[in-house]
């Protein structure tokens, strides 16, 4: 496992509140009996009791030990829906603390591994929990790499697990691409429920899914393709517009490598962030003392303000070339011929020099673009060679986009806004996204939510900003709600209150009909519990948290959620998704 991987996967489930046990645990069959369970296209490879309270992550060096676990039955299995598939799953089953609920969980990037932290969080809060490697592990994939020209000796690439030798990921394996796109998470759900039913001798009374990043894509794909799999779905920072999101990574790398002078030096992202905050903080509903923006769409900072003048030189200022780089960073991924937006740009306020946040400071220092493995699946090994017709350095954002979309978009992009079947069976969707996300543009989740409103409103109508809300917004919020998190990086970390429990409000919504209006987020000192630095309410979109004008700005109770004014939200051209 990668040392920095938690920043990719994030705390998808968040800090759980108390999820009440709704039923007495059923008498369970011995765990080891599950070894002989016969399921379609499934090989159960192990079924063992763990009563030690600890779990050592397989293959971790030094050993990564998860403590504080209840006694549980650990089942590992391989799913083989096609001759070329090999999907690894695990399901962890609390032996005496089951709350009667089933929990599917997601991971990040190209996955390729089991996300054990999600399984541990699940059973610690009473759920029967399952996770999958999405079928990419058999191709040697890791969260960051699933196709690569090798790390080329780059120390940052090596530190983040880039394999030394070139690889082509899922090139030539269309069935594995389908597994990654949607099939693995569905079959994990179906088989996971069957295994849990056999163990507890009864079905879970409710089923939930929680994931962030790729886990968020999995979440939306489940709601769209398999609406009966889950009663409640939690989708964080969803990578739902997958092909165009990865193109944004290519564009960002090309942007900083267009010439030697375009590269952003260490420390300069922090310089830019400080200038952004100095101009904009407190003008968007938050407090003037916040080290983050509450709604970055109200900020129109121009990096020209940092242009080197007089005797100043980088990194204390930006050259004209560097100003161009940052202007492009905010502008998004653009078709150079017709000007169409392929993927939204980065929001102001997400600038960071922390490479673990997987933003520009990380991507520009790699020998090839972050997450470009996706394009090896289409173009093969040539994508890693500058002499090839199409490669990471010359990818043409006018001619090559359709080539990728024609092969991958229908399989990978979870961009349908038809959630009618999910809604009709009582399903609830709770989305969240960090306003300071340096990896997936924050407004992407707003675009998807607005598209739901438009679809539910029988016409194009964005989220209303009046006090009562439009009929289309009210209809949408009856089954789908979005919470934007100020100061949150990609799924975890960031300068704002970045820890919150979004699953318990989802459970409450599904099981009692009480929809969440606010979620309290916490910022711990040095991001390490238990010492609290501040709390802040996350407001149901499109509302924002506004300081009441008295009392500490570190206490959530001194903020109220109020209607926001209409803000411009950059959207892709219609052909590139919501």
Domain boundary among 412, 431, 462: 412
Catalytic-labelled residue, pool 132, 207, 213, 346: 213
Examine the domain organization and report whether 280 and 406 are in the same domain.
Answer: yes
Q: What is the DSSP letter of 318?
A: B
Helix (H) or strand (E) holding 197: helix 184-200
pLDDT at 14: 43
Catalytic-labelled residue, pool 4, 246, 433, 490: 490
Q: For residue 436, is it within any domain?
A: no
Instruction: Compute the distance between CA of residue 544 and CA of residue 465 in angstroms, rounded to an integer.
Output: 11
Range of the domain at 183: 23-204
Residue 162's nearest CA partner among 12, 341, 367, 345 is 367
pLDDT at 296: 97
Mean pLDDT, range 236-260, rounded to an integer: 98
Structural contact between residues 546 and 553, judged by C-beta atoms closer than 8 angstroms: no
- Sole residue written with tokens 């900020």: 299
pLDDT at 462: 53
Examine the domain organization and report whether 197 and 248 are in the same domain.
Answer: no
pLDDT tens readout for residues 74-107: 999 999 999 999 999 999 999 999 999 999 999 9
Q: For residue 79, is it within any domain?
A: yes
If pLDDT is split at 50, 70 and 90, which confidence band does 63 have?
very high
3-state secondary structure of 49: strand
Catalytic-labelled residue, pool 437, 442, 464, 501: 437
Q: For residue 525, is it within any domain?
A: no
As given in the structure block, the two tokens for residue 369 are: 């673009």
pLDDT at 301: 98
Residue 479's nearest CA partner among 520, 509, 503 is 509
- In terms of DSSP H, where are the helices of 387-521? 400-412, 420-424, 443-456, 471-477, 503-512
Examine the domain organization and report whether 44 and 160 are in the same domain.
Answer: yes
Q: What percent of the chain has pLDDT over 90?
A: 90
Instruction: Compute the distance between CA of residue 279 and CA of residue 45 in angstroms, rounded to an integer.
Output: 57
pLDDT tens readout for residues 370-428: 999 999 999 999 999 989 999 999 999 999 999 999 999 999 999 999 999 999 999 99
Structural contact between residues 297 and 569, judged by C-beta atoms closer than 8 angstroms: yes
Mean pLDDT, range 357-365, rounded to an integer: 97
Q: Phi, psi at residue 143, to the nearest 5°?
A: -50, -40
Domain boundary among 363, 381, 412: 412
Q: For residue 555, is it within any domain?
A: no
Examine the domain organization and report whether 82 and 195 are in the same domain.
Answer: yes
Q: For residue 111, is it within any domain?
A: yes
Q: For residue 12, is it within any domain?
A: no
Examine the domain organization and report whether 128 and 259 are in the same domain.
Answer: no
pLDDT tens readout for residues 162-195: 999 999 999 999 999 999 999 999 999 999 999 9
Instruction: Compute the distance between CA of residue 141 and CA of residue 168 in angstroms, rounded to an integer.
Output: 10
Examine the domain organization and report whether 268 and 362 are in the same domain.
Answer: yes
Examine the domain organization and report whether 265 and 382 are in the same domain.
Answer: yes
Instruction: Compute the distance between CA of residue 517 and CA of residue 120 in angstroms, rounded to an integer.
Output: 28
Q: For residue 550, is it within any domain?
A: no
Cα 291 to chain center, whole Å?
23
pLDDT tens readout for residues 8-39: 233 434 434 445 444 454 454 689 999 999 99
Examine the domain organization and report whether 326 and 180 are in the same domain.
Answer: no
Instruction: Compute the distance between CA of residue 231 and CA of residue 472 in angstroms, rounded to an integer.
Output: 22
Structural contact between residues 93 and 104, judged by C-beta atoms closer than 8 angstroms: no
Examine the domain organization and report whether 271 and 153 are in the same domain.
Answer: no
Residue 414's nearest CA partner among 566, 538, 235, 534 is 235
**What DSSP letter does each residue of 327-383 carry, written as one string?**
HHHHH-EE-TTT--EEE--PPTT-----GGG-SHHHHTTSSS-TTTHHHHHHHGGGG
Task: Judge if the upstream peptide bond of residue 315 is cis by omega within 30 degrees of 0.
Answer: yes
Examine the domain organization and report whether 161 and 281 are in the same domain.
Answer: no
Residues 6+ apart with CB under 8 A from 125: 16, 19, 99
Examine the domain organization and report whether 338 and 278 are in the same domain.
Answer: yes
Domain boundary among 204, 231, 253: 204
As given in the structure block, the two tokens for residue 439 are: 């990896």
Helix (H) or strand (E) holding 7: helix 6-9
pLDDT at 577 over 80: yes
Active site includes 213?
Answer: yes
Count up the domains in the chain and report the number.
2
Active site includes 288?
Answer: no
The rounded mean pLDDT for the chain is 93
Residue 305's nearest CA partner among 286, 330, 332, 287 is 330
pLDDT tens readout for residues 109-146: 999 999 999 999 999 999 999 999 999 999 999 999 99
Q: Phi, psi at residue 270, to the nearest 5°?
A: -65, -40
Q: For residue 504, is it within any domain?
A: no
pLDDT tens readout for residues 288-343: 999 999 999 999 999 999 999 999 999 999 999 999 999 999 999 999 999 999 99
pTM over 0.75: yes
Examine the domain organization and report whether 398 and 281 are in the same domain.
Answer: yes
């Amino acid at each position: 496992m990668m040392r920095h991987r938690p920043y990719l996967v994030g705390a998808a489930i968040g800090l759980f509140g108390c999820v009440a046990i709704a039923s007495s645990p059923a008498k369970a069959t011995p765990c080891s009996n599950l070894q002989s369970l016969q399921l379609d296209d499934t090989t159960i490879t192990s079924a063992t009791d763990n009563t030690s309270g600890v779990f050592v992550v397989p293959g971790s060096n030094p050993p990564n030990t998860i403590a504080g676990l209840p006694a549980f039955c650990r089942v590992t299995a391989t799913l083989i829906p096609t001759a070329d598939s090999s999907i690894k799953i695990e399901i962890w089953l609390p032996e005496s603390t089951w709350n009667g609920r089933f929990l599917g969980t997601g991971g990040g990037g190209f996955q390729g591994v089991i996300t054990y932290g999600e399984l541990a969080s699940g059973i610690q809060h009473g759920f029967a929990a399952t996770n999958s490697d999405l079928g990419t592990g058999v191709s040697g994939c890791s969260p960051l790499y699933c196709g690569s020209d090798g790390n080329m000796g780059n120390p940052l690439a090596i530190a983040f697990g880039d394999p030394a030798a070139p690889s082509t990921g899922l090139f030539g394996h269309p069935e594995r691409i389908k597994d990654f796109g949607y099939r693995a998470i569905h079959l994990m759900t179906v088989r996971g429920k069957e295994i849990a039913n056999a163990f507890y001798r009864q079905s879970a009374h409710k089923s939930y899914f929680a994931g962030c990043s790729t886990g968020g894509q999995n979440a939306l794909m489940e709601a769209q393709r398999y609406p009966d799999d889950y009663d409640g779905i939690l989708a964080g920072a969803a990578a739902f517009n997958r092909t165009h999101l990865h193109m944004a990574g290519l564009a960002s790398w090309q942007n900083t490598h267009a010439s030697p002078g375009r590269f952003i030096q260490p420390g300069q992202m922090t310089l830019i962030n400080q200038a952004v905050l100095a101009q904009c903080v407190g003008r968007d509903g938050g407090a003037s003392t916040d080290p983050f923006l509450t709604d970055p769409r109200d900020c129109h900072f121009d990096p020209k303000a940092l242009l080197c003048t007089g005797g100043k030189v980088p990194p204390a200022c930006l050259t004209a070339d560097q100003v161009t780089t940052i202007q492009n960073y905010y502008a998004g991924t653009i078709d150079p011929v017709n000007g169409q937006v392929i993927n939204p740009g980065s929001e102001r306020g997400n600038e960071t020099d922390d490479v673990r946040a997987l933003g520009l400071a990380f991507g520009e220092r790699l020998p090839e673009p972050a997450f470009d493995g996706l394009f090896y699946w289409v173009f093969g090994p040539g994508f890693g060679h500058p002499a090839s017709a199409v490669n990471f350095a010359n990818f043409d954002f006018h001619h090559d986009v359709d080539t990728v979309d024609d092969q991958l978009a229908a399989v990978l992009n979870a961009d349908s806004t038809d959630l009618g079947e999910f809604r009709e069976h009582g399903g609830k969707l709770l989305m969240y996204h960090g306003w300071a996300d340096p990896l997936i543009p924050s407004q992407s989740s707003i675009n998807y939510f607005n598209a739901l409103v438009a679809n539910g409103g029988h016409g194009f109508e964005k989220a209303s900003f009046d006090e009562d809300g439009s009929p289309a917004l009210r209809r949408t919020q009856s089954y789908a709600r979005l919470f934007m998190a100020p100061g949150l990086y990609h799924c975890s970390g960031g300068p704002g209150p970045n820890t919150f429990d979004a699953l318990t409000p989802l459970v409450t919504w599904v099981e009692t009909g009480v929809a969440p209006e606010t979620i309290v987020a916490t910022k711990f000192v040095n991001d390490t519990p238990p010492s609290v630095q501040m709390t802040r309410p996350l407001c149901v979109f499109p509302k924002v948290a506004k300081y009441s004008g008295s009392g500490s700005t570190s206490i959530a109770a001194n903020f109220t959620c109020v209607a926001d004014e209409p803000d411009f939200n950059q959207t892709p051209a219609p052909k590139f998704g919501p």
